[in-house]
């Protein structure tokens, strides 16, 4: 409870020690800001007047509206009586970008000549939460960029705060200065349907502000299930955060491009696809975005000793990769092919979210957990509706062909963009160049037949071990090895995708440090271990 004589943080000057709430090392300030806001906000949701037409939309994850009041933290736009809202001006802008040219002047207005403008007939009143239940969910949201940390040079590792609403139902209002027929109102709402499906508010390409349906903008849809460690919010509660998909896909896009071209071109093409900042040129809106709907999701805690770790079990979820701009049919086909291959690559060699480089030890190494040790890893699969996206592996050599095909897809994208592929070797630690990475694989009979998982926690031969080395990583240092148990699917004579018993393709992706003795010893051991080198030199 705030001291009644103290000025609430939102009204204090944004200087150190006062209204400043952006520092992750001092979460008490942000918690106090939110508590004061929620305490003062009205209980009853704002009501549109009777002459305003309204429509409700469910947001699948979080919604961010940026007030622009601070540089280092995203604070919401707040209406009268404390309710967060999506401004009418933003709504009109999104509507205008989607509205067919023939109707723009009627609905949104336009220029009559160099001096005069004519208003449109529509008035956009913005969107509000349907009720006050938005206050019942955690509002402080942690954004944690890790591109430099994971892909490039193991540097730059920081977190930032924003305030966002969790899965709100938003009510949007539109009115007209003229009496309109029901059919014209249907046309107007159809335009808004198309506008909102590209996301509203901030960070839409990472899954924020996304409605349930995306009939116009979706490029490709994957039905998924997965389990693993959940992200932890400031208040220590766990949350399944769909921005994990964009983070992994963007990282793999950088890795793949840097395997066929120089670093600057890799960054430029990745930024064009997924968005980002381009120095003095400011922010770039990406061509790709994601929207995730967790259809059947359970959150829980993994306990060891007196400690606990939040975990998720996603039984069914739908991931849409979206086209965020207006593009030609031919270009959309190429974009869909690239996005699909990047996603299938991600599923082949790793997972999503925390500890994505490791397999879920609860499934593949339960002996480790019996000693009351922390949870490690994740495990992701396609559901039966999306089994066609598994790579069929009728023999181990098919993995080599698959990786070559993915690199060819990336090369073709370079050519489409007028770039010349080259064989330049990147300085990045996780560049997917055959001289920077090695892929090793074997067929495992079932979930109890993982060889490599034991090598991460003990000796792999005699007294030789990679535990705690630069290869496996340690606290404050990302390792150079990924481990995946990929469900083993083959194509039968009828061309159908079928699971081969309970088998997995066990895969190790290694970015060797040539100066590290333990890494070189391990690479010498691998050919005698039952693993076969499938890609790389």
57-102 pLDDT, tens digit each:
999 999 998 766 555 567 788 888 888 999 999 999 999 999 999 9
Which tokens go with 269?
């093409």
In 3-state terms, what secondary structure has residue 413?
helix
In 3-state terms, what secondary structure has residue 18?
coil
CB under 8 Å to 49, separation ≥6 — which residues?
none
CB under 8 Å to 57, separation ≥6 — which residues?
127, 169, 170, 172, 196, 211, 212
| pLDDT score at 233 | 87
pLDDT at 374 over 70: yes
| pLDDT score at 282 | 66
User: Which of these, 155, 242, 168, 267, lies nearest to 211 by C-alpha position?
Assistant: 168
Which of 109-113, 165-169, 219-223 bottoms out in mean pLDDT, i.e. has the lowest?
109-113
C-alpha 350 chain-centroid distance: 14
CB under 8 Å to 143, separation ≥6 — which residues?
159, 160, 161, 162, 203
| pLDDT score at 256 | 97
pLDDT at 283 over 90: no
Which tokens go with 11?
């009204």
Of all residues in the chain, the percent with pLDDT exceeding 70 is: 89
Taking the C-alpha atoms of residue 194 and residue 188, their distance in angstroms, rounded to an integer, is 10
CA-only gyration radius of the chain, Å? 25
User: Which of these, 507, 527, 485, 505, lies nearest to 439 by C-alpha position?
Assistant: 507
Higher pLDDT, 138 or 179: 179
Of all residues in the chain, the percent with pLDDT exceeding 90 is: 70
pLDDT digits (tens, 9 = 90+) for 183-235: 999 999 999 999 999 999 988 988 999 999 999 999 999 999 999 999 988 88
| pLDDT score at 31 | 81
pLDDT at 159 over 90: no
Q: Mean pLDDT, to the nearest integer, of 167-192?
A: 97
Which tokens go with 355?
């500890």
Place 36 in a pLDDT band, splitting at 50, 70 and 90. confident
| pLDDT score at 165 | 93
Average pLDDT of the chain to the nearest whole number: 89
pLDDT at 405 over 90: yes
Strands (E) in 21-168, as ranges, are: 53-58, 62-63, 109-111, 117-119, 122-129, 140-143, 160-163, 165-166
Q: What residue ranges do the domains of the chain occupy?
A: 1-40, 47-204, 219-535
| pLDDT score at 6 | 57
pLDDT digits (tens, 9 = 90+) for 326-340: 899 999 999 999 999
pLDDT at 124 over 90: yes
Place 152 in a pLDDT band, splitting at 50, 70 and 90. low
């Amino acid at each position: 409870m705030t001291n009644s004589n103290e000025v609430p943080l939102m009204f204090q000057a944004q200087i150190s020690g006062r209204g400043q709430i952006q520092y992750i090392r001092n979460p008490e300030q942000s918690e106090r800001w939110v508590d004061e806001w929620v305490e003062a906000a009205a209980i009853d949701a704002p009501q549109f007047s009777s002459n305003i037409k309204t429509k409700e939309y469910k947001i699948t994850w979080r919604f961010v509206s940026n007030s622009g009041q601070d540089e280092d933290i995203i604070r919401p736009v707040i209406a009268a009586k404390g309710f967060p809202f999506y401004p009418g001006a933003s709504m009109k802008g999104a509507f205008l970008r989607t509205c067919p040219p023939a109707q723009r002047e009627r609905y949104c207005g336009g220029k009559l000549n160099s001096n005069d403008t004519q208003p449109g007939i529509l008035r956009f009143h913005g969107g509000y939460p349907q009720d006050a239940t938005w206050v019942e969910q955690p509002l402080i949201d942690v954004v944690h960029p890790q591109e430099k940390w994971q892909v490039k040079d193991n540097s730059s590792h920081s977190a930032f705060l924003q305030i966002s609403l969790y899965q709100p139902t938003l009510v949007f209002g539109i009115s007209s200065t003229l009496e309109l027929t029901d059919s014209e109102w249907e046309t107007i709402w159809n335009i808004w349907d198309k506008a909102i499906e590209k996301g509203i508010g901030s960070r839409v390409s990472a899954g924020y502000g996304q409605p349930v349906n995306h009939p116009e903008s979706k490029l490709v849809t994957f039905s998924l299930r997965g389990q693993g460690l959940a992200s932890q919010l400031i208040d220590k509660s766990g949350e399944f955060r769909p921005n994990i998909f964009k983070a992994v896909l963007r990282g793999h896009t950088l890795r793949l491009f840097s395997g066929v071209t120089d670093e600057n071109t890799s960054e430029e093409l990745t930024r064009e696809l997924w968005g980002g900042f381009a120095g003095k040129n400011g922010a770039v809106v990406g061509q790709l975005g994601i929207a995730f709907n967790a259809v059947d999701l359970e959150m829980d805690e993994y306990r060891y000793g007196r400690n606990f770790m939040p975990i998720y079990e996603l039984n069914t979820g739908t991931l849409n990769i979206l086209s965020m701009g207006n593009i030609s049919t031919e270009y959309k086909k190429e974009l869909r092919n690239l996005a699909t291959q990047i996603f299938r690559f991600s599923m082949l060699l790793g997972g999503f979210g925390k500890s994505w480089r490791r397999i879920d030890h609860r499934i593949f190494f339960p002996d480790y957990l019996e000693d009351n040790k922390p949870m490690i890893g994740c495990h992701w699969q396609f559901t039966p509706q999306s089994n066609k996206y598994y790579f069929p592996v009728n023999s181990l050599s098919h993995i080599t062909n698959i990786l070559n095909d993915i690199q060819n897809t990336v090369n073709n994208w370079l050519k489409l963009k007028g770039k010349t592929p080259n064989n330049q070797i990147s300085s990045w630690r996780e560049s997917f160049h055959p001289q920077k990475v090695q892929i090793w694989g074997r067929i495992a009979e079932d979930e109890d037949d993982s060889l490599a998982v034991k090598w991460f926690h003990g000796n792999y031969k005699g007294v030789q071990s990679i535990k705690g080395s630069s290869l496996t990583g340690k606290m404050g240092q990302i390792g150079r090895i990924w481990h995946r148990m990929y469900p083993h699917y083959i194509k039968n004579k009828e061309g159908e995708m079928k699971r081969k018993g309970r088998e997995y393709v066990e895969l190790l992706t290694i970015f060797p440090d040539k100066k590290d003795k333990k890494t070189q010893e391990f690479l010498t051991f691998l050919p005698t271990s039952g693993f076969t080198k499938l890609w790389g030199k």
